[in-house]
Amino acid sequence: MMNLTFMSQDNIYENESKVYPSIHKLDANGELIWNIYHLNDNDAWTDAKCITLDIDGNIIVAGSRKNATNSYDYATIKYNSNGEMLWSKRYKGNKWGGATALSLDKKDNVFVTGTSDGGESVGERFATIKYDAAGNEKWVQHHKNPTKKKREDIAVDLKVDKRRNVFVSGYSVVNH
């Protein structure tokens, strides 16, 4: 899986999701400026699903990381335009989770969504997190499916409008 996001006419950022997720900064001619590889150790990415840029050209990447209990957490990392890490955040939820989409608002708040384990009686659910530009968690919200049955709620995408309303798309599977 590969996503491209254009920062300006001069630079392209490429995000690659494989065994060893990486981020590559390419110029407008496709020449490599820098790259970061996340090797598969205890604190490494297991996948990098999405990438975006803030108004200052900082790079925000989200996906999942393997944790010490061999489960997975949401992982969100912000880098400056030179590829130096500014902050790194994890969200575990009940047992495990993984981010699938992210977006920014006009104030560079970071919104991340994905799927998180809600526990034995709930099943999988959407979990959406808001971080401020400095990486401080502001809130976490979970999708509330109208049924009371165990379900799988899979988040696929997220957008933020001009009024900072957050829209999360995905699907729900209700187990009967």
- Residue 48 near residue 40 (C-beta atoms within 8 A): no
Q: How many domains does the chain have?
A: 1
- Residue 155 near residue 170 (C-beta atoms within 8 A): yes
Structure tokens at 3: 């996503």
Give a yes or no: residue 32 inside a domain.
no
Residue type present at position 116: S
pLDDT of residue 36: 84
Express as a percent the part of the chain with pLDDT over 70: 69
Give a yes or no: residue 69 inside a domain.
yes
CATH classification of the domain holding 110: 2.120.10.30
Structure tokens at 104: 């920014």
Give a yes or no: residue 34 inside a domain.
no
**pLDDT tens digits along 127-165:** 899 999 999 999 998 876 666 666 677 788 999 999 999
Give a yes or no: residue 155 inside a domain.
yes
Structural domain of 79: 43-174
Give a yes or no: residue 22 inside a domain.
no
Q: Is the pLDDT score of 28 beyond 70? A: yes
pLDDT of residue 60: 94
* SS (HEC) of the chain: CEEEEECCCCEEEEEECCCCCEEEEEECCCCEEEEEECCCCCCCEEEEEEEEECCCCCEEEEEEEECCCCCEEEEEEEECCCCCEEEEEEECCCCCEEEEEEEECCCCCEEEEEEEECCCCCEEEEEEEEECCCCCEEEEEECCCCCCCCEEEEEEEEEECCCCCEEEEEEEEECC
Give a yes or no: residue 122 inside a domain.
yes
Nearest alpha carbon to residue 155 among 132, 126, 134: 126
Grade residue 1 by pLDDT with cuts at 50, 70 and 90.
Answer: very low
Give a yes or no: residue 163 inside a domain.
yes
**pTM for the predicted model, two decimal places:** 0.79
Span 51-55, average pLDDT: 93
Instruction: Determine the Cα–Cα distance for residues 159 and 105; give it in Å rounded to an integer.
Output: 9
Give a yes or no: residue 90 inside a domain.
yes
Structure tokens at 51: 């990438």
